[in-house]
Amino acid sequence: MASNLTIRPAVEADTATILSFIKGLADYERLSHEVMVTQESLRQSLFGPTPGAEVILAFVGDEAAGFALFFHNYSTFLGKRGVYLEDLFVKPNHRGFGVGKALLVRLATIAVERGCGRLEWAVLDWNTPAIDFYKNLGAVAMDEWTTFRVTGESLNKLAGQS
């Protein structure tokens, strides 16, 4: 692990850095065409009056090396909140030095400190390096679950039904 690695919660002044990580992740996942967020909408949603998520940033020295964006969900079976990791990204030049693991360790610590019952996330099925990395940390794939999503016009149509 990088000896000069630090992790801290993001603050409003980090909005541009967070946006650059989101764009880097989208490039990696071949989903750049889906990025609609702007720096202002990100600032508002993360640091406005009702934040929708939290971010932790990893630094190697003074350079931002990675980020994790997460929020709370809830398990009715456990009767406890959980932490849902929406995005984790480490810059290519910082991979293989423990930055990703350090971010996940910090998230696990946050979950335990907050009394959460689980930490979970999704990974694209073609991303074998990430899948192997997560399994090596003790994560278990939930292969029997299928994720569903409603967005855009379909969301508006569903909302308009009586």
Q: How far is CA 116 from its chain centroid?
A: 17
Catalytic one among 28, 74, 84, 134?
Answer: 134
8 Å CB contact between 121 and 157: no
Q: Which of 22, 51, 54 is nearest to 36 (CA)?
A: 22
CB count, 10 Å around CB of 65? Answer: 25
Active site residue 28: no
The dihedrals phi and psi of 46, each to the nearest 5 degrees, come to -95, -30
Report residue 12 as tokens. Answer: 């409003």
Q: What count of residues does the chain have?
A: 162
Give the CA distances from residue 34 to residues 5, 26, 59, 73, 112, in Å, rounded to whole numbers and listed in that order: 31, 8, 27, 24, 33
Catalytic residues: 134
